[in-house]
Amino acid sequence: MANYLAPIDLEDEHLSAGVIEKTVQMATGVPGAKIYLMTVIPGITPGIDQRYAVRGEMHGSAEYPLQEWKDEAAKELQDIANKSVPKEMQGGVVVENGTVYREIVEAAKDLNIEHIVMGANRPSLADYLLGPNSARVARHAGCSVTVVRA
């Protein structure tokens, strides 16, 4: 049995669709293959008032409804899975909060993932200096990683 992890950005439908399509393609014909869809709600940078970072507005809000956001994201991921992943391949959905690449690597360990399939946009100069999430996942994951371009 092979477990696949497809981390997607719910804000980038085009790239996410490509990642899911590639993952299903790779898992097709693999006995017992399971696909887990994942998204990460980025953590708030220390030192930034969460009210402004979360809401993106000047007056802000004291609320930081993380669990509500995670529940909404899980529902959205499950809807995507029901439309795009054959029922027999659906392993589940994962929503985490924190540093994107770290959460993906940890989820891969926890779920005994054999292959991560994730998207990447064309790198900018900053990505070459800092390393995009896909490059960091590829460096730190204990399994194979396939990167799908937009």
Q: In what order do the strands lie in the sheet with 3-7?
A: 90-98, 34-42, 3-7, 115-120, 144-149
Burial level of 118, CB count in 10 A (0-12/13-18/19+)?
buried
Q: Which residues of 78-97 are buried (b: 16+ CB within 10 A; e: fewer)?
A: eebbeebbeeebbbebbbbe
Task: List, in sequence order, every beta strand (DSSP E) within the chain.
Answer: 3-7, 34-42, 90-98, 115-120, 144-149
pLDDT tens digits, 34-58: 999 999 998 765 555 555 555 544 4
Instruction: With 0.85 as the threshold, say if the pTM is over it.
Output: no
Query: At residue 7, does pLDDT exceed 50?
Result: yes
Question: Which are the contacts of 92, defined by CB distance < 8 A and separation ≥ 6?
Answer: 34, 36, 37
For domain 3-149, the CATH class is alpha beta
**How much is the pLDDT for 92?**
97
Cβ distance 107 to 113 under 8 Å? Answer: yes
Cβ distance 49 to 63 under 8 Å? Answer: no
- Report which DSSP code applies to 4: E
**How much is the pLDDT for 149?**
84
Q: Which residues pair with 37 in a beta bridge?
A: 6, 93
pLDDT tens digits, 57-74: 444 445 668 889 999 999
